Every structure is written in C-alpha cells, then in structure tokens.
Amino acid sequence: MKVAVVGATGMVGEVMLQVLAERNFPVTELIPVASEKSVGKEIEFKGKKYKVVGLQTAVDMKADIALFSAGGETSLAWAPKFAEAGTTVIDNSSAWRMDPTKKLIVPEINASELTKDDKIIANPNCSTIQMVMVLAPLHKKYNIKRVIVSTYQSITGTGVKAVQQLENEYVGIQGEMAYKYQIHRNAIPQCDSFEENGYTKEEMKLVRETQKIIGDKSIAVTATAIRIPVVGGHSEAVNVEFSNDFDVNEIRSILHHTDGVVVQDNNDTYTYPMPLFAQGKDDVFVGRIRRDESQPNSLNMWIVADNLRKGAATNTVQIAEYLVANNLV
C-alpha cells in the first residue's frame, strides 16, 4: 500500500505518521508531502528516513491512499488532482465536509456508506467526532431531539503557534500570538472566525456535521466553543433531550458496549474523564452521566478525547483501514 501523508511536517501530520506506525497499517511505500519550504527535509517512519516531496511530485507518484492534513485551501486545490490520478483522499480539513457529494465518516458510525467510487472522503471536525461517538448509539435507542454542547478546547486544535504562545506566556516571554488575547490563565470564548449568525465556524460545525454523520437533520444542536490553556484534548459538557425516557444505568451499559468509547463514571472514586489522562489515547471518554432534573427525558454528560488522535489522525487512519479491509481502494 503506497501511502501519502500531505502535511506530514505539521502537528496532525506527525501524529498521523505515529498512528500509522502504531497500528501497523500496511505501508509499503511512504510519501511524506509538505509545502515547498519543507521539500527535501527528512522524516523518519518505522526506523527509515524519507525525503519530503512537493504536492505535484506526490500526485505523479500515484499513491493508493493520501491522508490530508494541510488546511482547507490545499485540500480544495489538490484533493481533486490526487483523486484524478486514482488516489483515494481522506481529508482532515473542513473543505469537503458539507459537500453533499462527499461522505463524512466516523468509522464506528457510518463507514458502511463508503464505496469504491468515493475518491475524496471527509474526516469530521475533532469536537464533532468525540460527541457523535457517544450520541450515535443513544440516538438509535432513544431518538435525540436536541443537543446543547459547550466545548472546552485544547490549544493543540489551533496548532504549533498556539502551543508556543502558551509556553511563552507561561515563562513570561513576549512572542508571536496565535490568539487575539493571552491564553495562559484565560478562557477565550471564540474558536475559529464568526459567521453572520453570531456563532463561530467551530460551533456551526458541531451543528451541521452532527446531523450529517448521524443522518438526521431533525436533531437540533446548539453550541458554544471555548478555547482553554490545555494541551491534552478537548472536553465537552453535553446536554441531550430524547424523545423517549431512559434509565441512566442502561445509558451507561449502552456506552460501555460501544466500540471506541470508555465510560469513566464513578463519583465515589472521583472517576471522570479529563484531558490530562486522555492525551495520547485513541478512545473517547465519557462520564458525569446524570439525568437533567430540570427537563423531561434529558441527560447531562462530560465527554473528553485527544483532539489530535481520535479527533483527527486516528479517525483518518481508521477510515483507511476500513477501505483496505473491504477492498475499496
């Protein structure tokens, strides 16, 4: 399997390479791809060194699969060129997610939608992935009417520049700013730019992508996305209203038996998900599961996942694994 990683020198690209190695994905030839300024640099994969190539060179090398994490503009311009060359693209940017002709995939939920004809496949937003991993099995059982979510998002979702800003502020160095404000000892109620309706792009991704992945536009979703000075992963306070009543222990049981979800929910032992412990792990962690006593058929949960792993790189590699296992590439 000839695999290209587009954006190989970026934060998510590096994790993609790590996940490919950890999961023993059948890479026979690796093609690390990055912008012109990185061409010629060497990266290491499974003890072997590979030279970074440019986008056109990578297209010409006709990879079987290309994992993209190089931003929306690059994906819009180059994913079709890779696809025309016969490469199946799995794209981690927002470029193709809401395109009605493209599939938006979380393998545990809707990988069965994929066919050989899908040459550009969209990977959802990190905050959406972890939420739908928990919501999808509950929707099947109780039918979700409405979701209210507040996210507390890691600076790693912004990238290396944001990590550097926090590190600088922590030691009192004035440096380049990824955000308009100090992030150290702060919470910024803005993830991404604002849309005309007053919500940020990140908040609207949670609305639109949730409906598309679960396949139900009747699910009402409203979101507030907040950036906090954390590295390990994104956290979400999620309130769900169902059409049907539920038993809290049954909810726990359903989630306990859901692939990729780990229930951490014991008040007696102070067991609940935290980004500190989610970092570097592929699972989605859920806890603080309790009935909303102010509203019928409603539930509160706390959901945490490493946004660079299941929220990005791991989900992308899992899509690739499904394609290989089902002879779709």
How far is it, in rounded angstroms, from Cα 279 to Cα 234?
Answer: 10
Neighbouring C-beta atoms of residue 231, cutoff 10 Å: 16
Q: Is 56 annotated as a binding residue?
A: no
Q: Is 233 annotated as a binding residue?
A: no
Q: Is 97 annotated as a binding residue?
A: yes
Q: Is 177 annotated as a binding residue?
A: no
How far is it, in rounded angstroms, from Cα 163 to Cα 165?
Answer: 5
Q: Is 185 annotated as a binding residue?
A: no
Q: Is 150 annotated as a binding residue?
A: no
User: Taking the C-alpha atoms of 154, 159, 161 and 162 in order, what is their torsion angle to the nearest 10 degrees?
Assistant: -10
Neighbouring C-beta atoms of residue 83, cutoff 10 Å: 16
Q: Is 307 annotated as a binding residue?
A: yes
Neighbouring C-beta atoms of residue 101, cutoff 10 Å: 7
Rounded to 10 deg, the angle between the 126-142 and 248-256 helix axes is 120
Q: Is 9 annotated as a binding residue?
A: yes
Q: Is 12 annotated as a binding residue?
A: yes
Residues catalogued as catalytic: 126, 234
Q: Is 38 annotated as a binding residue?
A: yes
* Chain centroid to CA 150: 16
> CB-based burial of residue 127 (10 Å sphere; 0-12 exposed, 13-18 middle, 19+ buried)?
buried
Helix (H, G, I), strand (E, B) or coil at 228: coil
Distances (CA, A) of 160 to 2, 64, 167, 195, 200: 28, 29, 11, 25, 21
Report the binding-site residues for substrate. Answer: 153, 227
Report the binding-site residues. Answer: 9-12, 37-38, 97, 153, 227, 307
Report the binding-site residues for phosphate. Answer: 97
Report the binding-site residues for NADP(+). Answer: 9-12, 37-38, 307
